[in-house]
Amino acid sequence: MVRTRFAPSPTGYLHIGGLRTALYNYLYARKHGGKFLLRIEDTDQKRYVEGATQHIIDMINWAGLDFDEGPGKEGDVGPYIQSERTALYQKHAYELLEKGHAYRCFCTAERLDEMRNTQVAQKKAPMYDRHCLYLSEEEIQKKLAEGAPFVIRQKVPSGDVVKFKDLIRGNVSFSGKTIDDQVLLKSDEFPTYHLANVVDDHYMNISHVIRGEEWLPSTPKHILLYQAFGWTPPEFAHIPLLLNKDRSKLSKRQGDVSVEDYINKGYTREALLNFIAFLGWHPGGAQENELFSLEELINNFSMEKVHKAGAIFDIEKLDWINWQWNRRNYHEYLTKKAKEIDANVNIEELKKGAFSYNFNDTNNAAAFFEIRTNKLIEMCEENLPAEMKSNKEKLRKILISVEEKILRDSKEIKSQIDFYFEDKPYEKDLLTHEKMNVDLEVAKNSLLAIREKFESLDDFNSEEKIKNALMEVVEKLGYKNGQVLWPLRAALTGEQFSPGAFEVAWALGKEPSLGRINKALIELEKA
């Protein structure tokens, strides 16, 4: 059976790269009907951060990566926190010692620092010089009798070549001369990552180790440990690094890297998983759809489609995916609510992104409008000041007019609708537009004709009727659409960029719209 694991260290926040590693392990296990385990590797007690274990579990649960075994979900091979398994590691470290695959090292920190500094000065790769490997038995016993502290180091067969097949990188080999005699058991009797990792993967029956590329150089050490114990190693797959746009390794110095950072910024679960899945993997073929649910990722995932090269973390792409997922989730929510109101409702998603739900009954339409706008209010409520929220009925139309902007990024909502709540002073030049052939005369003629049409318009609650009225003005004046709509939109908003003229007039209402048109005409008279 396929058994994968995610084995983070509780040294702080969960890195976004860690979430991707967890996701790939989860996808591979689910794709093959296997089990996904969570194991906490807390052997480095000096770097342990209080509360980090629970934080990791919370983040994994938030992502919906439901692990089959792990802390709080004990299986037959637990416990799943390494600090609770130290006796097992100690037993196996001394077993290696007895079999001649490891040796005691009594070197002090000062000697090791001096050794490394000398190697660096000589432009050599820092490695342990095997000083203690050549101690006689008499010297070893003397040091033990004196109570000298020691670590247990792996004895690497330096004449060997370690070969293995990586599921992503193909055949890989390392010369034994380049492999350091890694510490396996520290002087405090706590294991290092290398020993605990191998022992746990064996006893937890892990079939596939899927981890970051940075662990590739450690793999030959682990394979040698498997051989020393007489165990069959799992299959290995080393996934590509996450990179900044300048191709440096993704780090906090250049932006947010913790999963919690992205949650706090409002990114959805679906968008974040969708995005990180594509950082190093692609389903292949002419893939038009870039939105994949977790279930769709499971069905399409394969190790053969994981890339070797580093993956660029493009925040703009994440923003786009998040926007698309917001739209999908919003549409699914509205569709469900519309059908609850009227099972036979005619539902049509318009090409430009607006959502049209055609109810025959006006009461049903009104009920649905309230549901729709309540959802928009909910989505941006924490970013709206109290004075904007106080008039909910006014706010409903306003939010509909910026619906797509809310779905893209609700945090910017206040700046996008400020103009609805106050008549901002603006330059009369805003009412004109050279490229659209809107000069002062055209702007004045358009606004005068629009004012006349709006004053006679009985139903200002229908955006469609407002649109038709404005199109009649276009036809009457013989102007192009932009020559009428630009000065109107500028007059109503005082902004260079804003929702369209139809939406703004509808959201403002008849009297406020006429008031702003009159104000604009006064400015034009001054010119």
Token code pair at residue 117:
């500094």
State whether residue 124 is helix, strand or coil: coil
Q: Cα–Cα distance between 337 and 318 in angstroms, integer?
A: 28
Token code pair at residue 431:
């009412």
SS (H, E, C) 139-186: HHHHHHHCCCCCEEEECCCCCCEEEEEECCCEEEEEEHHHCCCCEEEC
Residue 240 is classified by DSSP as P
User: 198 Cβ partners below 8 Å, 6+ apart?
Assistant: 222, 225, 226, 229
Annotation marks residue 252 as catalytic: yes
Token code pair at residue 128:
């342990």
Contact 487, 477 (CB under 8 A): no
Q: Cα–Cα distance between 254 and 518 in angstroms, integer?
A: 50
Q: How far is CA 261 from CA 255, 279, 502, in A?
A: 10, 18, 38
Q: What does the CA dihedral 400, 402, 408, 409 come to, rounded to 10 degrees?
A: -110
Return the exposure string of 296-326: e unless at least 16 CB atoms fall within 10 Å of the residue's CB, then b: ebbebbebeebeeebbebeeeebbebbbbbb
CA atoms within 13 A on the CB side of 253: 7
Q: Which of 99, 163, 165, 252 is catalytic?
A: 252
Token code pair at residue 354:
């607006």
User: 110 Cβ partners below 8 Å, 6+ apart?
Assistant: none
Question: 4 pairs with which residues across the strands?
Answer: 36
Closest CA to 391 of 403, 399, 382, 379: 399
Q: Cα–Cα distance between 409 and 318 in angstroms, integer?
A: 12
Q: Cα–Cα distance between 465 and 462 in angstroms, integer?
A: 5
Question: CA angle, corner 364, sides to 360 and 369, nearest 5?
Answer: 115
Q: How far is CA 252 from CA 243, 247, 278, 357, in A?
A: 12, 14, 21, 45
Residue type, 156: V
Active site residues: 252
